[in-house]
Chains A and B, each alone.
Chain A
């Protein structure tokens, strides 16, 4: 709370600095910088995005819909939703638990745990895929026994879900941790001293304080879960209509020379990205407004 107040204060004194001229850049330089940023953005962001949609609609809306209604495409969409639907809630629970433990408590091995959480970020997704092949493959550690008992992990749906969970593991925890740490323990200590139990403190104090970071983490986690290619590609086996997720399906139909169908499914993934951005902006706006209301009417219960 205190930090945001000082920050607003410095912002209100900002214009007087800018107006003095000695401390700002010349107008032409400013425009060059803005122009460079815009050109960069359009070449690397807007243009590719436009290409995806224009290629998808190249042969009209009929061909576009046919690409999405294809049974293999629908199965890929279902599998992607299933993998994200399992990976995101699991990582949400894990992320909250990890951020709470790391942000509020001190214990032996804390720094090791933090490094472990970051592991999926630092390991290449392809390598994480191969970890599962080495574990559950026919030549792997557990694979022969599992396959003999009719349980298939890799080259099947469970492996795809496992790989998705692994690569999206750090998102929620990483988003939450700074917020939880910044809040300190004062409010929790107050709650406990007023007689709240551990659970009550967690539900009514810790979690509400971190809710925006949590939602943001979940959105990022979901975007990655749906878009993951490398790790999933290694454990998929690329069986059409069975073990292809949306990104894998896009590659398969592109290699089938069905470019419209490939871009149609790609446009769905791109749309998902845009929706993610919109939701994120909405949440940030909500969070800012909530903070402003809290500031303005601090006395109101």
Chain B
């Protein structure tokens, strides 16, 4: 008996010492994983700039769904910035459980440089791991004072164009490829012509913000520029909510199918033991409710029934894809946006 008590005391002391150690460890790593109790779980969604409102809405819905399914409370922490900058941060150790970025290459970069997830990540979820799509449109001030109708109006002298920096922003890279695809189509496939065209376009850009949201603020709030090359979802957000009646959307004759992919980051979720919730968080984006939320935030849904219901808000556009036109994102990134690529050749600030 006495022996057992002693043993119990010893164990208790051990536990309390362990607790003290844990507390110290906790305060050292004040950003603790917050997974301690099984009834609570938290995941970090590292996303690109214009998805702020989308995930604000979706996180609430997913929280309810997960609670009803497992009885567990889930907190989704959010971080938003330019897509390229976010990929860089995850490579440098930002503990993202899921990444929802603007384009596939940024997630490829995480797989290549930090080996945090397998190279074939894009085949793990349906539709190339892209639960929603968008495209690139032109946003002009009400009444379209400069008479912008298509991409070639953006290279006219005296037209000031706002678009973010392709080095840090995903949307900016879609913008660039949209303009390139237009110029290729117009000249019957001449790369030289396309390069001259985008060079003239970027001469009309007075400021390159680091992310799409920064550019929208530059155009909408600061009143700079005649036309904003924007994500369709960002442009619709402006015309519906923010600047009702002050702006209008111009749909170009051709644009690019923008596919912002999502995936979980294996090494980070395994370390935290949050794989199940991270995976379900992304899969639920494909559900009826998830797709509705995407459409309500002006992303084009994949699910036919939801797409039909919200068809009125998305104009018909002739779309090229990065896979068919540019041979996939790895190749496009290498040709256009890597150091010494086409963008470095054509862009001379000032």
> Residues of A with Cβ closer than 8 Å to B?
133, 136-140, 143, 147, 150-152, 154-158, 237-243, 252, 254-257, 259
Contact = CB atoms under 8 A, between A and B. Distances in A.
Contacts of A242: 31, 77
Interface residues of B, number: 29
A151 B27 CA distance: 10
Most chain A C-beta atoms within 10 Å of own C-beta, residue among B89, B92, B93, B95: B93
Contact of B29 (A143, A152, A238, A239): A152
A139 B92 CA distance: 6
B31 A256 contact: no
Contact of B49 (A138, A150, A157, A255): A255
A151 B28 contact: yes
A143 B25 CA distance: 16
A158 B44 contact: no
A254 B213 CA distance: 10
Given A242-B31, A255-B213, A255-B217, A154 B78 contact: no
11 contacts: A152-B29, A152-B95, A157-B30, A157-B31, A237-B94, A239-B44, A239-B78, A240-B79, A255-B211, A255-B214, A256-B53
Nearest to A136: B93
B77 A137 contact: no
A138 B114 contact: yes
B93 A238 contact: no
B52 interface: yes
Contacts of B93: 136-140, 143, 147, 152, 154-155
Interface of B: 25, 28-31, 44, 49, 52-53, 77-81, 89, 91-95, 113-114, 211, 213-214, 217, 221, 241-242
B25 A150 contact: yes
A158 B49 CA distance: 26
A263 to B, nearest CB: 12
The secondary structure that dominates the A interface is loop
Most buried by B among A137, A147, A152, A237: A237
A300 B241 CA distance: 73
A155 B77 CA distance: 13
Contact of A238 (B28, B81, B113, B221): B81
Closest 8 CB pairs of A and B: A156-B31, A138-B93, A137-B92, A157-B30, A237-B94, A155-B94, A255-B213, A238-B79
Contact of B92 (A140, A239, A257): A140
B92 A243 contact: no
B15 to A, nearest CB: 19
Contacts, number: 76
Nearest to A140: B92
Nearest to B33: A150
Contacts of B28: 151, 158
A177 B242 CA distance: 53
Given A139-B113, A152-B93, A257-B242, A239 B79 contact: yes
A155 B95 contact: yes
Nearest to B49: A255
B349 to A, nearest CB: 18
Contacts of B92: 133, 137-140, 143, 154-155
B33 to A, nearest CB: 8
A135 B322 CA distance: 37
Contacts of B77: 239-242
Given A152-B31, A239-B31, A242-B77, 14 more contacts: A140-B92, A143-B93, A147-B93, A151-B29, A154-B92, A155-B92, A157-B30, A237-B94, A252-B80, A255-B49, A255-B52, A255-B217, A256-B53, A259-B221
Nearest to A161: B30
B36 to A, nearest CB: 13
A155 B31 contact: yes
Contacts of A150: 25, 29
A119 B283 CA distance: 50
A130 to B, nearest CB: 10
Contacts of A259: 221
